[in-house]
Amino acid sequence: MRAEDKLVIALPKGRILDEAMPLVNAAGIIPEPAFDDPKSRLLRFGTNHPHIDIIRVRSFDVATFVAFGAAHLGIAGNDVLMEFDYPELYAPLDLGIGKCRLSVAEPESVAADDDPRRWSHIRIATKYPEVTRRHFAARGVQAECVKLNGAMELAPSLGLCTRIVDLVSSGATLLANGLKEVEVIAEVTSRLIVNRAALKTRPDEMTGWIEAFRKACGA
Binding site for ligand PRP (CB under 6 A): 14-15, 150, 166-173
For ligand PRP, the closer of residues 8 and 63 by Cβ is 63
Shortest distance, position 181 Cβ to ligand PRP, whole Å? 9
Shortest distance, position 75 Cβ to ligand PRP, whole Å? 14
Q: Please return the burial class of 74, using the count of CB atoms within 10 Å of its CB with bins 0-12, 13-18 and 19+.
A: buried
Q: Which of 214, 166, 213 is nearest to 11 (CA)?
A: 213
For ligand PRP, the closer of residues 15 and 214 by Cβ is 15
For ligand PRP, the closer of residues 19 and 32 by Cβ is 19
Q: Which of 131, 16, 22, 41 is nearest to 84 (CA)?
A: 131
Give CA–CA dist 128/82, Å, rounded: 9
Shortest distance, position 166 Cβ to ligand PRP, whole Å? 5
For ligand PRP, the closer of residues 53 and 79 by Cβ is 79
CB 215 within 8 A of CB 161: no
Shortest distance, position 140 Cβ to ligand PRP, whole Å? 28
Pair type for strands 7-12 and 52-57: parallel
Shortest distance, position 9 Cβ to ligand PRP, whole Å? 21
